[in-house]
Structure 1
Amino acid sequence: MNLRLGLGVTSYLVVALALGCDSSHKAIGVPAKTQEPSLWEIHELLAKKEFVDLTHSFEPGIPHWPGFPDEELETIYSYKPAPGLMGSGFFAQRYQIVGQWGTHCDPPAHFVEGLRTIDEIKPEEMILPLVVFDVHAAVEQNPDYVIRMEDVKAWEEKYGEVPKGAFCVMRTDWSKRWPDAKAMRNEDAAGTPHYPGWSQEVLTYLYETRKITASGHETTDTDPGLSTAKDDYTLETYVLGTNHYQIELLTNVDQLPEQGALAVVTFPKPLKGSGFPARVFAILP
């Protein structure tokens, strides 16, 4: 074997080992097809990542839309056996809540008759690329701030296009006011609430151009406080009218990177349900 041929074979072996292909592959220079990792291997990788819980614990008295009643919580069985109670000796509680309670999922049917109820949201829509638009600095200066196309375009200039099927979250740091209901509503002397919200141009762009799967925020509403004070829920109607779901009252958004994480969005499955508390978390890159 001459020197040039020997170096060529050596180079191929190095590349083959680096790519994980078989050095005995007959077509020198054409690497063997790599095998995708198994789901268990993917789980092993994910288990080493950092997880961030984006969900508030709920209880009676938490901030909520003012038209809803408070939660009623009753312990119906305790660990200590009670006379006359069959099955006593274990812990069980009864919860009476509206579907839109705490960190929760709003399915399309919440606002639009005939569209999907919460049980009709597919599992494939629950593990998503996570996009965070950070506007908290602007909200600090103006609590009535609504996200603008400049905010979204600035994100895309840094990271590329918002991926199809993403879960897009607006970071306002409003959840730091939790669980103070008055602070969350932030009413002025006339009783008008002041809190941030989405905008029509941004939502239209995300859902119709970028084809995202869902969106979420830290406040009680999609629409800003100045709009809800006039009973104007145009933006929430728009989102749910696209037959997509949204998540309200997220927390710990300040612990997320703007790009690269995964969102896992889960909730129970009441038949024909109008909404339900959700458990949402992120897996960081």
Structure 2
Amino acid sequence: MSRGLTFTRLADLAHPIGTGMPRWPGDPPVTFLEVACREEDGYDLRAFAMGEHGGTHVNAPLSFLPGGADVRAAAPWPLLLPLAVLDLRGRAAADPGAHCAPDDVLAWEAAHGRVPRGCLFVCNTGWHHLWREPERFMGVQWGALRAGPGDAPPMVFPSFTPDAVHLLVHERGAAGIGIDTHGVDAPDDAEFLCNRMALAAGAVVVECLAGLDGLPPTGAHALLAPLPLCGGTGAPVAVTAFIP
């Protein structure tokens, strides 16, 4: 509020954390364990466990870069950033492997002006609507269509291209990139180039965003507050949008 931020409504851009939610292959599932109950202890208490990159989360440089900062040192949290939202839903509906490429960023600028310096640039692919269908969210069924005989089906979902990330963080000065799929990188990019490029430039990376449909292309702000995990390679993050 000290910046004179005004808004008419708030929106939660993080998915609820629960068992059965989509997760990267090999990541641990979300588990809950009853530790105390009111009948015996006078209060209810559960322990829970999940991967640091589960649910709506930020990635820390430590996850991809030698000597990188952990999640606590990655940014001056909580972080308030202007939001720029690219609507990729139409193309992603026709092609589950659609990419946000430099031409998409330039087309966005032709319609809405130059990408604001210091913004969080987010792709709305519509994938957040598949959150309750983990196999569809991870694109396993589309991968099965592309797999050869006897091959394990790869994952297929929309993402950024490294060239688009370079344009955003190096040429436009974006402070972060985000997407509503499980990765800013294409799932077949074993080098995670988009993550590496953004994090090496000091930008924030947010994945598995929710609730993007109600956001305007410009004018909103996002407040990001991850769990301050000591040594965290990433962390679940609360993301609140302030919408004018």
- TM-score normalised to the size of structure 1? 0.77
Q: Using a 3 Å threshold, how does the CA distance of structure 1 residues 125 and 148 change in structure 2: closer, same or farther? A: farther
3-state DSSP of counterpart to 1:278: strand
Report the Cα offset of residue 243 of structure 1. 3.0
2:79 is aligned with 1:126? yes
Q: 2:24 aligns with which of 43, 65, 74?
A: 65
Residue 200 (structure 1) aligns with: 162
Q: Using a 3 Å threshold, how does the CA distance of structure 1 residues 65 and 124 change in structure 2: closer, same or farther? A: closer
2:198 is aligned with 1:236? no
Q: CA RMSD in A?
A: 1.9
Asked if structure 2 preserves the Cα contact closer than 8 Å seen for 1:116 and 1:243, the reply is no
2:207 aligned partner, one-letter code: E
1:238 aligned partner, one-letter code: M
Residue 185 (structure 2) aligns with: 223
Residue 92 (structure 2) aligns with: 139
Q: Using a 3 Å threshold, how does the CA distance of structure 1 residues 50 and 216 change in structure 2: closer, same or farther? A: same
Residue 166 (structure 1) aligns with: 119
Residue 269 (structure 1) aligns with: 228
Deviates more, 1:249-258 or 1:91-100: 91-100
2:105 is aligned with 1:155? no
Identity %: 25
Gaps of 5+ in 2: 148-152
Deviates more, 1:154-163 or 1:275-284: 154-163
Residue 44 (structure 2) aligns with: 91
Report the Cα offset of residue 232 of structure 1. 4.2
Which protein shows a greater Rg? Answer: 1
Asked if structure 2 preserves the Cα contact closer than 8 Å seen for 1:128 and 1:264, the reply is yes
Residue 216 (structure 2) aligns with: 257
1:120 aligned partner, one-letter code: A
Counterpart-to-counterpart distance in 2, 1:204 and 1:158: 21
3-state DSSP of counterpart to 1:265: strand
Report the Cα offset of residue 42 of structure 1. 4.5
Asked if structure 2 preserves the Cα contact closer than 8 Å seen for 1:55 and 1:278, the reply is yes
Gaps of 5+ in 1: 1-37, 83-87
Report the Cα offset of residue 284 of structure 1. 0.6
User: How many equivalent pairs are there?
Assistant: 235
Report the Cα offset of residue 216 of structure 1. 0.7
Report the Cα offset of residue 78 of structure 1. 2.3
Task: From the two aligned structures, give the one with the greater strand fraction.
Answer: 2
- TM-score normalised to the size of structure 2? 0.90
3-state DSSP of counterpart to 2:100: coil
Counterpart-to-counterpart distance in 2, 1:205 and 1:114: 25
Report the Cα offset of residue 244 of structure 1. 2.4
What's the CA shift string for 1:215-250, capped at 9, x where partnerless?
A: 11111112223x24xx34222222222232211100
Task: From the two aligned structures, give the one with the greater helix fraction.
Answer: 1
Asked if structure 1 preserves the Cα contact closer than 8 Å seen for 2:60 and 2:233, the reply is yes
Report the Cα offset of residue 74 of structure 1. 0.8
Q: Using a 3 Å threshold, how does the CA distance of structure 1 residues 160 and 52 change in structure 2: closer, same or farther? A: same
Report the Cα offset of residue 79 of structure 1. 2.6
Report the Cα offset of residue 125 of structure 1. 6.7
2:54 aligned partner, one-letter code: W
Report the Cα offset of residue 140 of structure 1. 1.1
